[in-house]
């Protein structure tokens, strides 16, 4: 791979090449990507989607939206720091092509901002709930009518693949989705492969999958433009990661590791003493003990340690990225950046206690139980209505459901069962937690 291709400014539908040196410096193409994501309705819905801990009525906790904003800020810094070093290493990128260090930051920030845009309500349990509907629930009946890969898309519904669908799917008046630059789309794709085969290797890019069969054409266009390396055997589509996807992943890893931990402490799920014991190992070289001791509240003390910890991990991630940049370019680096960090043990200690005290807490488990019931009911009702609509077997109840939906479910190919089912999944995934619960209550006949 080479950086000239990887930094492509191309957008869907372009007939002429976009050159960096011809860009308007007051609003670069990569900065336009950020704007388009943040003003999208799909991004806005993240304000009412659970990050990990259910939305609290009495204490502030992070939602998918605040998490995404924070990841984008960390990603911007990661990109700028890495970009500065890359421009020093490859001066022709600046001297001949016009790229600047901040371009790398803009790409990573935009991709990081969008990294959760395809996630369903109720956190990662929402993905599992959609998959279970097709794997073990009523959706099993469609297995024989779909290809193996189409059925796997549904059984292992993936927020990353749904995100690419949102960013690239064409419909009337919105050709090419949000029409982001291919560089940003490449950085967004942490898992540039299809749903089958499942985890064909231990490479970090094979951990999950990154596109549905409905976006295969768009995916192939993106990877070819960026010059990503083909990895899949035979007819399986699998490619190397865009190098900047490692920085997007690092930004996400840094934020959820440190900030979920902070939320747990502020909500009383984790004792403050653990913050000293675990975070101090990350910040002992930068902490100002006198300043720390002057802070009077738990929130202020944890906030101070959190800021130092994030800064430490940003610098560490950039060092690992630059040290392994040539391996990343030839697809021989198989790990997340923080997996090769000198702080790996400390990070794993924090994640372990977060799993025990936060991710397996009663509040989170109760949310997941509710999420399964809500999503299963919505899928069962909407799938039935959509299938009956296109088969000409609408019941009066189906007609009422479709009127309530008011054409909110977009089906790309109305004669294609896979597109019908995926469109319903895409719609349910777009719902906020509150909207999903509201719709569930209506369907169940619960007085609101």
| Distance between CA atoms of residues 345 and 335, nearest Å | 15
Domain with CATH 1.10.3550.10 in the chain: 362-444
Mean pLDDT split into 10-residue runs, the chain, 448 residues:
96 87 82 96 90 59 89 98 98 95 97 96 90 96 97 97 96 89 98 95 94 97 97 88 98 93 84 80 86 86 90 97 98 96 92 86 83 95 95 93 91 93 96 93 84
Q: What is the pLDDT of residue 297?
A: 85
Q: What is the pLDDT of residue 277?
A: 80
Q: Alpha helix (H) ranges present in 243-361?
A: 243-266, 272-283, 289-294, 298-323, 325-329, 344-354
Answer for the pair 55, 48: CB distance below 8 angstroms, yes or no.
yes
The 10 Å CB-count burial string (b at 16+, else e) for 412-445 is beeebbbbbbbbbbbbbbbbbbeebbebbeebee
Q: What is the pLDDT of residue 60?
A: 61
3-state secondary structure of 193: strand
Q: What is the pLDDT of residue 53?
A: 66
For residue 386, what is the enclosing H or E element? helix 362-391
- CATH number of the structural domain 3-119+243-359: 1.10.3210.10
What the block records as the tokens of 181 is: 């630059």
| Distance between CA atoms of residues 345 and 213, nearest Å | 38
Q: What is the pLDDT of residue 448?
A: 59
Predicted model pTM: 0.94
Q: What is the pLDDT of residue 58?
A: 47
Domain with CATH 1.10.3210.10 in the chain: 3-119+243-359
| Distance between CA atoms of residues 105 and 72, nearest Å | 9
Per DSSP, what are the bridge partners of residue 63? 50
Answer for the pair 194, 213: CB distance below 8 angstroms, yes or no.
yes
- CATH number of the structural domain 362-444: 1.10.3550.10
Angle, in degrees to the nearest 10, between helices 344-354 and 243-266: 50
Please classify residue 98 by burial: count the beta carbons closer than 10 Å to its beta carbon, then call 0-12 exposed, 13-18 middle and 19+ buried: middle
| Distance between CA atoms of residues 152 and 352, nearest Å | 30
């Amino acid at each position: 791979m080479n950086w000239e291709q990887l930094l492509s400014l191309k957008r869907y539908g372009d007939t002429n090449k976009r050159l960096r040196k011809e860009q308007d410096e007051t609003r670069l193409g990569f900065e336009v990507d950020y704007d388009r994501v943040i003003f999208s309705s799909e991004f806005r819905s993240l304000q009412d989607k659970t990050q990990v801990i259910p939305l609290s009525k009495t204490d502030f906790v992070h939602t998918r939206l605040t998490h995404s904003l924070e990841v984008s800020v960390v990603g911007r810094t990661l990109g700028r720091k890495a970009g500065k070093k890359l421009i020093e290493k490859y001066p022709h990128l600046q001297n001949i092509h016009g790229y600047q260090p901040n371009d790398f930051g803009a790409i990573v920030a935009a991709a990081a901002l969008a990294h959760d845009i395809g996630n369903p309500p109720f956190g990662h349990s929402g993905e599992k709930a959609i998959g279970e509907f097709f794997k073990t629930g009523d959706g099993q009946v469609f297995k024989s009518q779909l290809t193996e890969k189409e059925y796997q898309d549904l059984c292992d519904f993936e927020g990353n693949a749904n995100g690419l669908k949102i960013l690239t799917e064409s419909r009337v008046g919105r050709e090419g989705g949000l029409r982001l630059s291919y560089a940003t789309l490449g950085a967004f794709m942490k898992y540039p492969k299809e749903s089958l085969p499942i985890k064909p290797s231990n490479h970090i890019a094979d951990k999950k999958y990154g596109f549905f069969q409905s976006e295969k054409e768009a995916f192939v266009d993106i990877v070819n433009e960026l010059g990503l390396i083909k990895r899949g055997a035979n007819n399986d589509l699998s490619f190397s990661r865009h190098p900047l996807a490692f920085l997007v992943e690092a930004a996400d890893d840094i934020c959820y590791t440190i900030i979920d931990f902070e939320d747990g402490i502020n909500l009383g799920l984790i004792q403050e003493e653990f913050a000293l014991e675990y975070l101090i190992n990350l910040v002992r070289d930068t902490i100002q003990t006198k300043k720390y001791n002057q802070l009077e509240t738990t929130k202020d003390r944890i906030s101070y340690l959190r800021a130092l910890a994030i800064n430490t991990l940003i610098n560490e991630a950039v060092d690992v990225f630059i040290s392994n940049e040539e391996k990343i370019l030839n697809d021989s680096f198989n790990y997340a950046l923080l997996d090769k960090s000198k702080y790996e043990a400390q990070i794993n200690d924090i994640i372990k206690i977060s799993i025990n005290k936060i991710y397996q807490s009663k509040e989170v488990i109760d949310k997941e139980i509710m999420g399964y019931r809500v999503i299963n009911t919505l899928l069962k009702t909407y799938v039935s209505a959509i299938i009956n609509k296109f088969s000409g077997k609408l019941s009066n109840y189906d007609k009422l459901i479709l009127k309530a939906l008011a054409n909110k479910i977009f089906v790309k190919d109305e004669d294609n069962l896979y597109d019908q089912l995926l469109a319903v999944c895409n719609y349910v995934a777009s719902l906020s937690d509150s909207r999903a619960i509201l719709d569930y209550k209506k369907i169940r006949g619960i007085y609101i």
